[in-house]
Structure 1
């Protein structure tokens, strides 16, 4: 009688024949068709990798994901698989739900041998994927196997438990990121969202409209862009010295630290004394000082010439000798204009007055020259002349770091796009690391304040993460990212990695991502890296990654109730990143005419490379 009832259920696929931890082997019933199964007038594909099954077990329904189909899914050693036939499914258990209640991840009991296994119908999927609380979930697309059902992500776990968006070039990765960030920063729902996106190629400047503020070196105010300023004095001493002068050690490093400490103690951020006791100020305290005055002082100490008293039994007396015949203004130099002071040359002739070189000969001249060249480089002015945060010679600034942080992550717009396409490649790693460290330190130390991470979490998005987060990388970007990946959850700083080559991303960082959104991946090493981040019982799902459609993603991890194969919503026209493939052949419209100019199909009427050259020189693709 029981068998007759089971066979009369149109959703039944077969029965449980083997249980091995969270993996079970299912034998398809003889009556189960090999193609489509019809349940209440709806058609469902039988035995699709990534499909779901339901196993009633008492008052609980167990849910699982099909990871393998055919003879290889049969229990026992592979060499005996042919004896069992090929009508087998291997299923990974992922969660359970009591009749009429919400689905939950994890299982409290295992199925028994002979338990019936059923295809998951659309009504079952609605139970599984329906969010517990609409306020805590965002819809990012549609379930691929049932497109009437929306795919939801838990925003709490997506942001604070870290995430990764990976996919080969052309898989729809940039559009997926734009859609995700647009959803989590919807002002109608999340009025004080905070997202910082590091955009290495300038793809996202127009992707978010009024939802985003765009920071760029050489910003165009008519386009709504803001000038990118990163005050050098907000860096730690080690960061500043490394970026400005290279590796400095020994006596020279001690000299630099002494100069930095004395300058910071006398500084006036925002035009007012900092209010800290001298003993509380360290070389790493973010207080302003004039880097131009620092260069002038160091140059003078290194290059000034001196005389020594003739009475060698007395204490030596020294004084700087400015060059004869040079006007005083030019002789003493000008720190702001980077005019070097002029000194009398060292004497070597016998009988002449002895003039010696600088007392601080241990400070290598190449370090001074490096600092001077960086200060003269117009591409580095965002760092050394940071607008309202530029210190004068005594360390006084017009604005303090509170204004900087408000401009970066203030509530007036939810997304901040740091367009780094105009930054010199040599300093991009250090720059990203410095900004990450500034943001993290501010959020960390202010975590209990209303603007801190505990009250208002911050999401940091790292585009093209493989460029600066390789396993061998010791850059500041990699160091700061590892710190956020390991510690950020507790303090309200979430990380989202975006990469087309996950195999080139440090596994230490990638393994901390609680949610993985993987679009099509065709490279074996990339798939292996992503698969290694998934729990063991879900690794079979990643075999479908090479055949995902453009814009289709496999979402696994903490932000979803159970793994989702979803079609990510495409952002509306005008809100898409500039990542579409250029068209070699422009398609024709209904009238038979090309829908736009360009491509290889039409002749060039008047060729003019002058505007291209101007844009190249200005490092601005929008330059007229």
Structure 2
């Protein structure tokens, strides 16, 4: 190791004719040198005295040099190579030095006479040799490294640890290859999602975004630039369900009985759809065809089929189906979907309002499912997701109208379990993740439990935005899905502050740690945690609160 240090001294002397400059135009000394170079993991030696000397530098980037998560640069001819420090350990042979593992991020040209990086690009074409001096990265370098380079982008925050370098998300890459927003409860996940969506809406007021909101948080954030739908005004026609979704709603039996009931439902459903005049001109009518039918027709056909049975044939499957359909028809909680007023062929109007075609300055639809019965929520999300995907397939020869589907609490709808209820929504969202970008459908997944997502879905997301994750299993899951060059950034995920995130993938030039912008109060979701200490100091009016609450409870209304 002593011989290596001597070689580094000679190399530094040979390159002293073009020293790195700092903000006050005085040369910055190198802080160490490249010790070992490998394709997957390289190492540098850093002089602790050099790091201590830079600790009070006015440039926050230079002051942070030598810490885990910071960047360093090294010169190769007229090029600079940028690397991220992943881990550090004290050199056992010399306690004044540190051995650091680094990941190479990219390279750029040197601006003549300043030492600042320009024309930065991801990836490296040449590796440095052992002994190459290491220099701090300045804020001026960071401005160039994270510059948006003319691509369509939105700015969402400030690059850590700078005070002014703006963090940009490349919109086309972000949406073209799906994205995931991850973070434990209380880390600012909902506000971060609202921030990103607001920025996209501001840039594209004629866009088409559908957001599934299971907690009713986001309606408050998009009152000005979004169309808001819930159980009171969604008016989702039941006949838009395909056969699998019909089975999830109407077939309650299990085992062999489930197969028998499903077979009867398929026969009767096809006959009910065939009674509609719209089906007369169709060359091929199936149980999945989105043709309106009357629920009363369906129950009548079931009764007629039951009447044809021999006395010895079991009529219980027919009675189960008819009873379940009658139960749903009379349950007011299901009226947003199974109302007798939803029989008309409103498919075009429904898709136009849901997909924002035209947007009319409100490019995002917020679908609040919080007041819908929990046993049918997954079917509602399945129908909406499938409509988006089916529309994209059947409109592929038309002028392109890309659609972004955002799913909050995504682990509910794409669980890692392949058994149980809700498999229809799991299948369609997995298909969108795999095939959606070919047809102009983008998927945005928001979850606090990435380890509960179906295997492989997270790896389909080209961009991963991770706030703090407290669970070790979740951290390991995200680490496995992110590119290898981001490992140094991933190690800081447990230590992130609220509203701070790591972004890796196609949507950014290189992995980046971001302090997210604040949102105006009127643009924030209603996701703030209650203050028990403050609210428990208030009293009075409890009788009226209980009366109003019980009234809504009994009437299943807001």
TM-score by length of structure 2 reads: 0.87
Q: Which residue of 2 aligns with 1:493?
A: 441
Distance in 2 (alpha carbons) for counterparts of 1:361 and 1:294: 16
Shift of 1:619: 4.4
Question: CA contact under 8 A between 2:388 and 2:403: conserved in structure 1?
Answer: no
Q: Which residue of 1 aligns with 2:14?
A: 2
Question: CA contact under 8 A between 1:162 and 1:513: conserved in structure 2?
Answer: yes
Distance in 2 (alpha carbons) for counterparts of 1:519 and 1:254: 47
The secondary structure found in structure 2 opposite 1:138 is strand
Cα deviation 1:200-254 (Å, max 9, x = unaligned): 0100111022211111112xxxxxxxx1122222221232133123466666655
Cα deviation 1:557-594 (Å, max 9, x = unaligned): 110001111111121012211111111234xxxxxxxx
Aligned pair partner of 2:404 in 442, 459, 473: 459
2:293 paired with 1:289? yes
The secondary structure found in structure 2 opposite 1:538 is helix
The secondary structure found in structure 1 opposite 2:479 is helix
2:393 paired with 1:381? no
The secondary structure found in structure 2 opposite 1:90 is strand
Question: CA contact under 8 A between 2:214 and 2:408: conserved in structure 1?
Answer: yes
| Structure 2 unpaired stretches of 5+ | 1-12, 21-25, 112-117
Q: Which residue of 2 aligns with 1:166?
A: 182
Distance in 1 (alpha carbons) for counterparts of 2:105 and 2:268: 60
2:210 paired with 1:191? no
Larger CA Rg, structure 1 vs 2: 1
Q: Which residue of 2 aligns with 1:428?
A: 377
Question: CA contact under 8 A between 2:302 and 2:318: conserved in structure 1?
Answer: no
Distance in 2 (alpha carbons) for counterparts of 1:602 and 1:284: 54
Question: CA contact under 8 A between 1:230 and 1:386: conserved in structure 2?
Answer: no
Q: Which residue of 2 aligns with 1:107?
A: 124
Q: Which residue of 2 aligns with 1:280?
A: 284
2:556 paired with 1:611? no
Q: Which residue of 1 aligns with 2:137?
A: 120
Cα deviation 1:471-496 (Å, max 9, x = unaligned): 11452221111101111111111111
Shift of 1:456: 2.2
Distance in 1 (alpha carbons) for counterparts of 2:537 and 2:269: 62
Cα deviation 1:443-472 (Å, max 9, x = unaligned): 12212312xxxx221111111112232211
The secondary structure found in structure 1 opposite 2:63 is strand
Query: Quick one: structure 1 residues 128 and 238, their matched pair in 2 at CA, closer, same or farther if it must change by over 3 Å?
Result: same
More off after superposition, 6-15 vs 540-549: 6-15
1:28-427 matches, cutoff 5 A:
28-29=46-47, 32-34=50-52, 36-37=54-55, 44-71=63-90, 82-83=92-93, 85=95, 86-100=97-111, 101-133=118-150, 136-186=152-202, 189-218=203-232, 227-246=233-252, 253-268=262-277, 273=278, 276-277=281-282, 279-303=283-307, 357=311, 361=315, 363-385=317-339, 387=341, 390-391=342-343, 397=344, 399-410=345-356, 411-412=359-360, 413-427=362-376
Q: Which residue of 2 aligns with 1:352?
A: none
Distance in 1 (alpha carbons) for counterparts of 2:550 and 2:518: 35
Question: CA contact under 8 A between 1:301 and 1:359: conserved in structure 2?
Answer: no
Q: Which residue of 1 aligns with 2:398?
A: 449
Question: CA contact under 8 A between 2:252 and 2:258: conserved in structure 1?
Answer: no
Query: Quick one: structure 1 residues 130 and 438, their matched pair in 2 at CA, closer, same or farther if it must change by over 3 Å?
Result: same
Question: CA contact under 8 A between 2:239 and 2:292: conserved in structure 1?
Answer: yes
Shift of 1:418: 0.6
Question: CA contact under 8 A between 1:65 and 1:94: conserved in structure 2?
Answer: yes
The secondary structure found in structure 1 opposite 2:385 is helix
The secondary structure found in structure 1 opposite 2:298 is helix
Shift of 1:26: 1.1
Q: Which residue of 1 aligns with 2:463?
A: 515
Query: Quick one: structure 1 residues 182 and 303, their matched pair in 2 at CA, closer, same or farther if it must change by over 3 Å?
Result: same
Distance in 2 (alpha carbons) for counterparts of 1:281 and 1:66: 61
Distance in 2 (alpha carbons) for counterparts of 1:495 and 1:244: 29
Structure 1 or 2: larger helix share? Answer: 2
Query: Quick one: structure 1 residues 19 and 618, their matched pair in 2 at CA, closer, same or farther if it must change by over 3 Å?
Result: farther
| Structure 1 unpaired stretches of 5+ | 72-80, 219-226, 306-355, 392-396, 587-598
Distance in 2 (alpha carbons) for counterparts of 1:368 and 1:88: 73
Shift of 1:602: 4.5
More off after superposition, 366-375 vs 8-17: 8-17
The secondary structure found in structure 2 opposite 1:87 is strand
Question: CA contact under 8 A between 1:517 and 1:554: conserved in structure 2?
Answer: yes
Distance in 2 (alpha carbons) for counterparts of 1:578 and 1:41: 38
More off after superposition, 296-305 vs 464-473: 296-305
Cα deviation 1:299-353 (Å, max 9, x = unaligned): 2432589xxxxxxxxxxxxxxxxxxxxxxxxxxxxxxxxxxxxxxxxxxxxxxxx
How many pairs are equivalent?
Answer: 522
Question: CA contact under 8 A between 2:65 and 2:137: conserved in structure 1?
Answer: no
Distance in 1 (alpha carbons) for counterparts of 2:58 and 2:532: 48
Question: CA contact under 8 A between 1:11 and 1:37: conserved in structure 2?
Answer: no
Distance in 2 (alpha carbons) for counterparts of 1:506 and 1:465: 10
Cα deviation 1:91-150 (Å, max 9, x = unaligned): 10011122354221111111111112221111111111111225x101111112112111
The secondary structure found in structure 2 opposite 1:617 is helix
Distance in 2 (alpha carbons) for counterparts of 1:237 and 1:3: 72
Distance in 1 (alpha carbons) for counterparts of 2:85 and 2:470: 21
Distance in 1 (alpha carbons) for counterparts of 2:173 and 2:287: 37
Cα deviation 1:57-85 (Å, max 9, x = unaligned): 123221111111223xxxxxxxxx62354
Distance in 2 (alpha carbons) for counterparts of 1:507 and 1:119: 40
Q: Which residue of 1 aligns with 2:4?
A: none
